[in-house]
Amino acid sequence: MHAKGPRYQQVAASLIDEIKQGRWPVGELLPTELDLCERFGVSRHTAREALRRLRDAGMIERRQGSGTRVAALAPRIAYEQRVSSIEDLLQYGKATKLEFSSIERRAADRTIAQWLDCSLGAATICMHGQRRDRASRALLCVTDVHVVATPDAEQRYGTTPPLALATMLADLNISRLSRVEQSFAAIPMPKSAAGELNTRAGAPALAALRRYFDRSGKLILAAHSVHPGNTFTLSMSLGHDVIARR
Amino acid sequence: MHAKGPRYQQVAASLIDEIKQGRWPVGELLPTELDLCERFGVSRHTAREALRRLRDAGMIERRQGSGTRVAALAPRIAYEQRVSSIEDLLQYGKATKLEFSSIERRAADRTIAQWLDCSLGAATICMHGQRRDRASRALLCVTDVHVVATPDAEQRYGTTPPLALATMLADLNISRLSRVEQSFAAIPMPKSAAGELNTRAGAPALAALRRYFDRSGKLILAAHSVHPGNTFTLSMSLGHDVIARR
DNA sequence: CAGTATAAGTTGTCCGGACATTTTGCCGAG
DNA sequence: CTCGGCAAAATGTCCGGACAACTTATACTG
């Protein structure tokens, strides 16, 4: 059946087949390493290598002292975007720069409450700013950054625009960040932004809403940008085969 | 310096430091496994584990018989989107369905030549279609799929709309696909699409251009969709630390 | 000189063993 | 009954060794 390639790949392929066929439901304990050694007639090293591949594929989770449990019935397929900073993720080059021009307190309306995942009327802080080309200072888009006005946020954001920007960049540090949600929509250019962007109100504009979450799943902040007509390009690559790779 | 955690993590951390400091430029050969064993006073197993972590982090590339070379000066940071099908990647649910209504030959104009990465005037095939809700058959967007008209493509696509759709789905198989490039832009609703979508020409519309590449980097096809006002949401998670993870 | 066989060097696979760390259940003390 | 300690079980770390597969350079042959 799985007679090709290294022994650990054969073991891994067998286990994948059995998991796919539902021999162990999600959450169920797999046989222990020693059981697998006996069953497949391999050393513990080989069994562990097979299990490691399944783990890299997201099919199992292992816990020292506890055991190995099924996490998914199929290998995960992950498209990934390699980045070296949050700016890369957003496809802004290093040639652009965000500046805040004003900070205001707002009670969350329906839209903002949905963005910030808070109750209607909750106190929020809204920072309004512009992203400009670093050299020509040409205006690229206008941005509103929203945070829930906790006492902590009040102290760290509710100061001056430059300080609020620094606070935001610190909060969006790679080591804190865990998930980013990006939404794109075509909207008529709002009157408020039309003046700044020197375009006609009602013309097609690209609105991008980005919500940033930390490792615990808590929302850090939401940023809403309006672009005159720009194109956003996201390039994603399919990850490598974690089972068969050398 | 790196006195905490397992030995292989200490070795990995040391090597990462040295690579970051430029001791070995990108492309340079690292010491062999046995050299590292001697230098750090560890077994080959431990040295290999350390190197494996660096490889998972994208910092080195290894080739049997040849050696270990530096691939990057810093660990890669990858945001990933877990998907189980190409439809998931595009955020279309299983509740929608694409249908082709017509196929026509076209000489590439400037726009299409840029999309398909071919010369101006080259022969192309364009399939026009609609994505509908599977249940209500409500029209969600109109799509044009473009391929370069090679003899092979001519035979496989230049037939009937249903066969062309099947061919496209086969070509976009997960196992062939390697990279997807998505661009979003706000455009005025084109007159041609306004009729089909039952909207006013000139109203804000979201145009999505998606280009699909195979493992060799060759473009498979380009798909251009126009949506009345829909929102596209992409959710991406930061990959786990491949160095320190258990 | 061209091409081929050979040898050395390097990483990949696989085995066996030992001890550490973490989790879990059991059992007894209070 | 509750709590703590203890032992069993499971995975994690680390060692040593052996051979296989692959790459590269060398030496040899025609």
Find the helix packing angle between B33-40 and B44-56, rounded to 10°.
Answer: 110
Contact criterion met (CB < 8 Å) for B183 and A233: yes
CATH superfamily of the domain spanning B86-227: Chorismate lyase-like (3.40.1410.10)
Q: Which residues contact B170 (CB under 8 A, 6 or more apart)?
A: none
Fold (topology level) of A7-70: Arc Repressor Mutant, subunit A (1.10.10)
Structure tokens at B117: 């990465």
DSSP-based three-state secondary structure for B112: helix
Question: What is the rounded CA–CA span in Å between residue B120 and residue B108?
Answer: 5
Concatenating the DSSP letter of every residue in A68-85 gives EEE--SS--EEEEEEESS
Percent of chain A with pLDDT over 70: 99
Per-residue pLDDT averaged across A6-17, rounded?
97
B69 touches strand C (CB under 7 A): no
**How big is the CA angle at B118 (ends B115 and B124), to the nearest 5 degrees?**
80
Contacts of A83 in chain B (CB under 8 A): 77-79
Among A56, A59, A80, the strongest candidate for a mutation testing the B interface, having the largest count of B CBs within 10 A, is A80
What is the pLDDT at residue B159? 87
CB pairs under 8 A between A and B: 140
DSSP-based three-state secondary structure for A200: coil
Cβ-contact A144, A167 below 8 angstroms: no
**How big is the CA angle at A125 (ends A123 and A126), to the nearest 5 degrees?**
130
* A76 burial via Cβ count (<10 Å: 0-12, 13-18, 19+): middle
Question: What is the rounded CA–CA span in Å between residue B219 and residue B153?
Answer: 13
Closest CA to B145 of B127, B131, B172: B127
DSSP element (H, E) containing A204: strand A204-214
Give the C-alpha distances (Å, rounded to integers) separating B227 from A132, B167, B198.
Answer: 29, 24, 11
- As for the ipTM of the complex, it is 0.85
| Phi and psi at residue B10, to the nearest 5° | -65, -45
H helices of chain A, in order, are 7-20, 33-40, 44-56, 86-89, 110-116, 151-157, 161-171, 191-197
Q: Which residues contact B126 (CB under 8 A, 6 or more apart)?
A: B103, B104, B105, B106, B112, B144, B145, B146
DSSP class of A30: P
Question: What is the rounded CA–CA span in Å between residue A22 and residue A2?
Answer: 19
Per-residue pLDDT averaged across A83-97, rounded?
79
Parse chain A into domains and list their residue ranges.
Answer: 7-70, 86-227
Positions of chain B with pLDDT lower than 50, given as ranges: none
Question: What is the rounded CA–CA span in Å between residue A67 and residue B93?
Answer: 35
Q: What is the pLDDT of residues A114-150, one digit of tens each?
A: 999 999 999 999 999 999 999 899 898 999 999 999 9
What is the pLDDT at residue A86? 76
Q: Does residue B246 or residue A41 have the better pLDDT?
A: A41
A134 touches strand D (CB under 7 A): no
Structure tokens at A209: 């809403």
Question: What is the rounded CA–CA span in Å between residue B181 and residue A234?
Answer: 6
Contact criterion met (CB < 8 Å) for A81 and B82: no
Please tell me if residue A64 touches chain B, with a CB cutoff of 8 Å: yes
Per-residue pLDDT band at A65 (split at 50, 70, 90)? very high
Concatenating the DSSP letter of every residue in B70-93 gives E--SS--EEEEEEESSHHHHTT--
Which residues, listed in sequence order, are joined to residue A57 by a DSSP beta bridge? Answer: none
